[in-house]
């Protein structure tokens, strides 16, 4: 499996390539890490998340789902997710 670094993801965002950005988002959300999808996420990303919400992927935190769909948009959605994951 290949890994996309933060620098590569930033450059993908500036190119405006939605397909590449979507793939980068999927790669970042896949795996055993905690993941937050904000309230104003792209529809394809939301669909991807909804297809996986009921998967039994292990979470790094006991009793907390690995994937979270925040209600808030943008940075507020990230803050909502971090609080849900226990970061205050």
Structural domain boundaries enclosing 19: 1-30
Same domain, 87 and 44: yes
Q: Give me the tens of pLDDT residue by residue for the chain, a chain 88 residues long.
A: 444 444 333 333 344 444 445 566 777 777 778 888 899 988 888 888 898 888 777 888 888 888 899 999 988 998 999 999 888 7
Kindly state whether residues 7 and 42 are assigned to the same domain. no
69: helix, strand or coil: strand
Does the pTM of the predicted model rise above 0.85? Answer: no
Residue with tokens 């292990």: 58
User: b vs e for 36-52, b when ≥16 Cβ sit within 10 Å of the residue's Cβ?
Assistant: bbbeebeeebeebbeee
Domain co-membership, 86 together with 56: yes
Q: What is the 3-state secondary structure (H, E, C) of 7-50?
A: HHHHHHHHHCCHHHHHHHHHHHHCCCCCEEECCCCCHHHHHHHH
Q: Quote the pLDDT of residue 72.
A: 94
Q: Structure tokens of 40?
A: 């104003």
- Verify that 57 and 38 share a domain, yes or no: yes
């Amino acid at each position: 499996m290949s890994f996309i670094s933060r620098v590569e993801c930033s450059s993908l965002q500036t190119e405006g390539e939605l397909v590449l950005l979507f793939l980068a988002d999927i790669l970042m959300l896949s795996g055993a890490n905690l993941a937050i999808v904000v309230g104003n996420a792209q529809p394809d990303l939301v669909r991807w998340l909804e297809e996986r919400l009921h998967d039994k992927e292990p979470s790094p935190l006991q009793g907390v789902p690995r994937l979270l769909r925040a209600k808030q948009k943008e940075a507020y959605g990230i803050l909502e997710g971090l609080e849900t994951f226990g970061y205050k």
